[in-house]
Amino acid sequence: MELPVGLAVFCVLYFTGLAGAQRDCYEGCINNVCNVTNGVCSEGCRDGFYGQRCDRNCGECRNKPCDKRTGSCKEGCEAGWRGSSCKQGRIDL
């Protein structure tokens, strides 16, 4: 079976499961679609994940989610957490 050129290019560039071009993307990728060469998520990150490959978990952001590119929490942290990404616990004495 011959595939249309556009579809053939898509199969080469992205993990789609067609023609044996399977590879697992990171769990944070929307629809589990990422670039075959570098693993970058082509449709962005699901809520709770950030980074080009959506391979980093967001911290304890108030009113989730975190910034999909940087992981920073735009509205601050949940109680007991600190730092721009809300991944540092507060030390109570």
Q: How many angstroms separate the first and last alpha carbons of the chain?
A: 69
CA separation, residue 84 to residues 40, 59, 92 (Å): 24, 9, 19
**CA 88 – CA 71 distance, rounded (Å):** 13
* pLDDT given for residue 92 in this prediction: 62
Long-range contacts, stretch 33-41, CB < 8 angstroms, 24+ apart: 36/12, 37/13
- What would the pLDDT profile of 3-61 be if each residue is shown by its tens digit? 454 444 444 444 444 444 456 799 999 999 999 889 999 999 999 999 999 999 999 99
* pLDDT given for residue 36 in this prediction: 86
* pLDDT given for residue 7 in this prediction: 44
Who has greater pLDDT, 90 or 29? Answer: 29
